[in-house]
Chain A
């Protein structure tokens, strides 16, 4: 069975400066994986909660634990920041979703969340984060974790070349009379 395992290893409310992560190298013949880094703040996005999520996640082999470091930053100084954290795909995980709460106050608006994840399945796996503060809004962020071989799957069977260019064909429900 293909499963992802998540292990929390850090105190969630502690304010820890993230250390730069290094790529994993087992021996000279192995692929050196890169560390994925990202942020939720670089586009003119839709209205949402005033918070940014920065993350780093190790690209690891199947079955190997990867460190995932998330930092939530917000300019909000009051209220409770609710964070729901769960794997995006159901039925492939052996960990229950987590509901975390952070008290916002002046001078306390950066919150690290650190954990480890492993999977028996190659590919990109996402950790879904839903952030909310009552009266302020909601933001959903997905943290990608690359495991083993990551390939771009193209759905060739629905693709057709036409005078309109490439089209993706789906079947309609149809009534003929």
Chain B
């Protein structure tokens, strides 16, 4: 036994003399601590394998042109042989790090984490990429436990491998969390250029190679699709199905939803949506904003989603062109994405001579748009934009007109019909205390879709003002003898959460509530059984002071 230990110690000394120590696998080789620490400036560059899209983006990921990109702004830890963190730092915008370390043997650990404390600068953030299928563990990559050498400096460059072996992901996809992190880094930098004291709420981003487009148990990777659920981002990673870690447009889109909910206001009710659909104004704006924000933080109008076997095909949306669009308008996320990006970008095209940059948009998102008394939509956004930039009114009108949207002059879209020929009510109906308003609904155009609720015309919107605080009763009931079931929610102020809502079965719903003076908005939906897509009937909304 003594002989064995002596031999191992000798081998260890020989490896150290060669300048690199390879950690033995047997615990019996741990040496007693000796006072022979050295002080070394340890530096290097941290990179990850970046997989680009094939030319034009339509043929999926290009594994023949993998390049190394810097891991920017990530936390780096120097860990000694006892497992103690002896130094912490983070990489700069080129992926470089440098620390002075006094120790003997250390390893470099890079965390999939962007962090800036509130005390170290005006802006602060905390973003982590974790594995939802493995105890929500934070992804890290480690270098070797190695001797610091006998010089005053040492360089250790670390790279996160893609894991691609030429035909498939044959080894650990170390790069994936860092590819995701780098898109968030870009987003943070964009926001901080507009607001140097921006405080970002902590956010977990969950990615796993098991994350697949199935509903069910998230800990098994069944996340439905890449999405923001209001508290965290979930990103797909299932090879040969749909991976999103290199689809920067998707990461940025979903992070845009986080930005919108944290810094602005997200009234988006969710559900399945297509770029060229006629959507609920709240969904159209939220998703159009997501598309535009994705392109804004990347300065790239292309949104590309790689899918399929070997990630070999793509779905592409170009925010600089409306080619093939059949539903341009204020209800289209495609139109809204193009409008917002045109207002931002420097490139001028048909109808677009404006390039306001991000700061003006950020000011608007965090101010007027966040505080609007209406539901967030292209109407609230454009109205505020024109108010804050009166010198560009004609340019703004030209951009909206290029998407078949006549000049917008108020937050409620006055003059617009909820859904022409199907739901011929005004987009917002006005209600007054002591009065009623009667609406006719017909949702036959919505189709047998599970997401019919988020299509244009499924919801009816009503606005009213309360001049005198007190108790009020708000009711909605069918008036044509049908068995339709109305439900509604009541909102006020800057919150996207209702102050009251009713989902009672039956042909009438009502709430009695203390209401303070102010502006209110209602969202009403009518069901036929569990269906909203084949409803035809007449209903009345009444507001009374108790």
Contacts and interface: CB of A to CB of B under 8 A. Distances in A.
Q: Which of B212, B253, B286 gathers the greatest number of chain A CB atoms within 10 Å?
A: B212
A120 interface: no
A34 to B, nearest CB: 11
B10 interface: no
A43 B227 contact: yes
B242 interface: yes
20 contacts: A38-B215, A44-B270, A44-B286, A48-B273, A48-B315, A75-B446, A77-B447, A88-B212, A130-B307, A135-B324, A136-B274, A138-B307, A142-B213, A144-B222, A152-B220, A164-B111, A167-B137, A168-B131, A172-B160, A176-B146
Contacts of B449: 50-52, 73-75, 109
Contacts of B268: 44
B375 interface: no
Contacts of B124: none
Nearest to A168: B137
A111 B159 CA distance: 47
Interface in A103-146: 109-110, 124, 126, 128, 130, 132, 135-138, 140-144
B450 to A, nearest CB: 4
Nearest to A166: B137
Interface string B233-271: 000001011101000001001100100000000001011
A75 B331 CA distance: 15
A166 B136 contact: yes
A48 B225 contact: yes
Contact of B134 (A52, A76, A159): A159
B291 A47 contact: yes
Interface string B433-449: 00000000000001111
Nearest to A110: B448
A50 B273 contact: yes
B396 interface: no
B80 interface: no
**Which 5 residue pairs spanning A and B have beta carbons closest together?**
A50-B274, A75-B447, A38-B215, A168-B137, A45-B225
B89 interface: no
A153 B20 CA distance: 35
Interface residues of A, number: 60
Contact of B159 (A73, A136, A172, A177): A172
B344 interface: no
Interface stretch (B150-158, B192-200, B500-508, B535-543): B150-158
Contacts of A40: 213, 215, 224-225, 272
A130 B242 CA distance: 9
A142 B257 contact: no
A175 interface: yes
A36 B268 CA distance: 29
B140 A42 contact: no
B155 A177 contact: yes
B123 interface: no
Contacts of B140: 167-170
A154 interface: yes
Interface in B423-480: 446-452, 455
Contacts of B317: 47
A45 B144 CA distance: 39
Nearest to B454: A41
Nearest to A50: B274
Interface in B52-91: 85
Q: Which of B19, B20, B138, B159 gathers the greatest number of chain A CB atoms within 10 Å?
A: B138
A27 interface: no
B506 to A, nearest CB: 26
A11 B451 CA distance: 26
A173 B71 CA distance: 14
Q: Which of B220, B225, B253 gathers the greatest number of chain A CB atoms within 10 Å?
A: B225
B384 interface: no
A166 B135 contact: yes
Interface string A75-113: 111000000000010100000000000000000011000
A108 to B, nearest CB: 10
Contacts of B113: 164
Given A128-B241, A172-B143, A152 B219 contact: yes
Contacts of B448: 73, 109-110
B273 A124 contact: no
Contacts of A39: 215, 450
